[in-house]
């Protein structure tokens, strides 16, 4: 999971979230964890299992470019559109939020990027494992929302369940253990939607 972020006024939480995701995506356990998630809802292609989507995301070698926009009337924190290949638009209306929330959003939007533009074996230029535009009972269990929650869960483990002096630096260690299977005492956090 690679991103390019070179805005003239970068948001530090986005910079840190990207660094975290770069580190997490270098770990086999991160991708194994996505592959083991429950079956996603709102699939237009039922062959897009969590394991298939995990492999497709991991195989994507083109970085997504993160750009700012501001839309005060919008409730969207970010979006991907077929008109901008490999571009992830972050709404600066919602810039004052936690790094964990940005981890969730970036992972969520990266699912859309891969689905629409880099989908080896899929139909590029269309969405096969996205979610509805309107909120409904199945939307939280779609691939983008589930994978966003999972990435945020890993952030929580990296920042709260390792010795304090390590924090997210755990990813800098070449032999760092993956967090898959660690007990956090709760389900994935819901923050960041």
**Per-residue pLDDT at 145:** 87
Q: Note the pLDDT of residue 181.
A: 46
Which is it for strands 87-91 and 3-4: parallel, antiparallel or unpaired? unpaired
Max Cα distance, the chain (Å): 46
Residue-wise DSSP of 34-87 = HHTSPPPBS-SSTT--HHHHHHHHHH--SPEEEEEE--TT---SEE--TTSTTE
In the chain, the domains with their CATH numbers are 3-172 (3.40.390)
**Ranges of the chain whose pLDDT falls below 50:** 163-177, 179-193
CA distances 128 to 5, 59, 61, 93, 125, Å, are: 26, 17, 20, 29, 10
- pLDDT score recorded for residue 47: 82
pLDDT of amino acid 66: 97
pLDDT of residue 113: 86
**What DSSP line would sit under 96-164, residue for residue?**
SS-HHHHHHHHHHHHHHHHHHH--TTS-TTS-SS---SS--TTGGGBHHHHHHHHHHHHHHHHHHSS-T
Enclosing H/E stretch for 4: strand 3-4
Q: What is the pLDDT of residues 101-152, one digit of tens each?
A: 999 999 999 998 888 776 555 555 556 666 555 565 556 678 888 999 999 9
pLDDT of residue 137: 55
């Amino acid at each position: 999971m690679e991103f390019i972020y070179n805005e003239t006024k970068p948001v530090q939480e986005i910079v840190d979230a990207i660094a975290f995701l770069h580190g997490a995506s270098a770990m086999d356990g991160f991708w194994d964890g996505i592959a083991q998630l429950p079956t996603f809802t709102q699939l237009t292609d039922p062959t897009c299992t969590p394991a298939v989507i995990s492999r497709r995301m991991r195989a994507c070698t083109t970085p997504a470019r993160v750009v700012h926009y501001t839309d005060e009337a919008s409730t969207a924190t970010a979006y991907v559109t077929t008109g901008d290949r490999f571009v992830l638009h972050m709404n600066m209306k919602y810039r004052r939020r936690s790094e964990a929330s940005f981890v969730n959003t970036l992972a969520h939007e990266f699912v859309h990027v891969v689905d629409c533009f880099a989908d080896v074996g899929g139909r590029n230029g269309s969405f096969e494992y996205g979610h509805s535009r309107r909120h409904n009972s199945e939307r939280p269990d779609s691939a983008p929302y589930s994978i966003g929650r999972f990435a945020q869960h890993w952030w929580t483990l990296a920042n709260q369940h390792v010795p304090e002096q390590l924090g997210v630096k755990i990813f800098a260690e070449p032999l760092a253990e993956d967090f898959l299977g660690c007990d956090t005492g709760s389900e994935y956090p819901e923050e960041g939607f």
